[in-house]
């Protein structure tokens, strides 16, 4: 039997700490990898370790088959993630990554695992309001154009014919993961939830992001920042403040 990938491949840890006070576990958006969060490292307190999820088929996992089903994705990720949940952690998802982060929090609850100290989601409507779509069925040009519009991919990549087939496979698989998820009503999480959105987001309405409040029995906060749909470059400072507050720092 062919051995599975080394568990550490699931997580990029650009600043490894021997004894972090808190871990920030980040789930990227459609087509992206762990590197999407690299710019945040210097904005986090020195005691916080950034752990960014790396899905198969990209970055240092190019030779591995893509996963296009949520259950299989979470099944692969959990063994790598569980040893890092030995201390307080924040679970964060951006855009489509918010869908995965939410379902991961639910799985941890169902399995009796550790609960995040905070769930942060960004640029995403609440799960019960997520529209049904089939973008994964679009032709290559339209599919990639949509991702460029969302801000998750520079438009220059559309001019690289050698790169397009690989990007198409990754993006199509990622869309299949989130578009096949159907919201299942369940008790709200006993976890605080923070939503971050862009004031100039042309794809997700403020009210639909605010509706995440129904998914928690704990504190709910909603922050709008001066950004469009793709907020990662602008959100790093706010995320740094959130984890400082969580650790009792000012």
Higher per-residue pLDDT: 180 or 24: 24
Residue 231 has pLDDT above 90, yes or no: yes
> Which range, 60-64, 141-145, 216-220, is most confident?
216-220
Q: What is the DSSP string of 152-189?
A: SS-GGGGG-TTTHHHHHHHHHHHHHHHHT------PPB
In this predicted structure, what is the pLDDT of residue 217? 98
Higher per-residue pLDDT: 102 or 183: 102
Distance from the Cα of residue 247 to its chain's centroid: 22
Give the SS3 label for residue 221.
Answer: strand
In this predicted structure, what is the pLDDT of residue 239? 97
Stretch 182-202: mean pLDDT, rounded? 95
Q: Structural domains in the chain?
A: 7-130+185-246 (3.40.50.1820)
The percentage of the chain sitting over the pLDDT mark of 70, rounded to a whole number, equals 94
Higher per-residue pLDDT: 173 or 217: 217
Residue 75 DSSP one-character state: H
* Contact status, residue 32 vs residue 98, Cβ threshold 8 Å: no
Q: 1 pLDDT band (50/70/90 cuts)?
A: very low
The percentage of the chain sitting over the pLDDT mark of 90, rounded to a whole number, equals 68
In this predicted structure, what is the pLDDT of residue 137? 67
Q: What pTM was estimated for this model as a whole?
A: 0.91
Residue 128 DSSP one-character state: G
| The token pair that represents 224 in the structure block | 């709008």
Q: What is the pLDDT of residues 8-55, one digit of tens each?
A: 799 999 999 999 999 999 999 988 889 999 999 999 999 999 999 999
Stretch 70-87: mean pLDDT, rounded? 94
Stretch 218-241: mean pLDDT, rounded? 96
Residue 65 has pLDDT above 60, yes or no: yes
Q: What is the pLDDT of residues 110-167, one digit of tens each?
A: 999 999 999 999 999 999 998 776 667 667 777 777 777 777 677 777 777 777 888 8
Distance from C-alpha of 163 to C-alpha of 239, rounded to nearest angstrom? 32
Q: 250 pLDDT band (50/70/90 cuts)?
A: low
């Amino acid at each position: 039997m062919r051995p599975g990938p080394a568990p550490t491949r699931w997580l990029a840890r650009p600043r490894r700490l021997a004894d972090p006070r808190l871990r920030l576990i980040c789930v990227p958006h459609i087509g992206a990898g762990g590197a999407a969060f690299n710019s945040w490292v210097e904005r986090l307190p020195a005691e916080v370790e950034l752990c960014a999820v790396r899905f198969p088929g990209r970055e240092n996992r190019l030779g591995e088959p893509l996963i296009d089903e949520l259950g299989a994705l979470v099944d692969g990720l959990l063994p790598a993630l569980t040893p890092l949940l030995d201390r307080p952690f924040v679970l964060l998802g951006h855009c489509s990554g918010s869908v995965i982060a939410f379902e991961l929090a639910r799985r941890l609850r169902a399995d009796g695992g550790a609960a995040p100290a905070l769930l942060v989601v960004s640029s995403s409507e609440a799960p019960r309001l997520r529209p049904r779509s089939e973008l994964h069925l679009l032709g290559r040009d339209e599919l990639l154009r949509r991702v460029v519009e969302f801000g998750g991919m520079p438009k220059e990549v559309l001019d690289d014919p050698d790169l397009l087939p690989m990007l198409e496979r990754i993006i199509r698989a990622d869309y299949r993961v989130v578009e096949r998820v159907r919201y299942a009503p369940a008790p709200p999480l006993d976890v605080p939830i923070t939503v971050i959105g862009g004031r100039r987001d042309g794809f997700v309405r403020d009210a639909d992001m605010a509706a995440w409040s129904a998914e928690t029995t704990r504190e709910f906060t909603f922050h709008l920042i001066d950004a469009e749909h793709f907020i990662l470059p602008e959100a790093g400072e706010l995320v740094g403040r959130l984890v400082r507050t969580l650790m009792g720092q000012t």
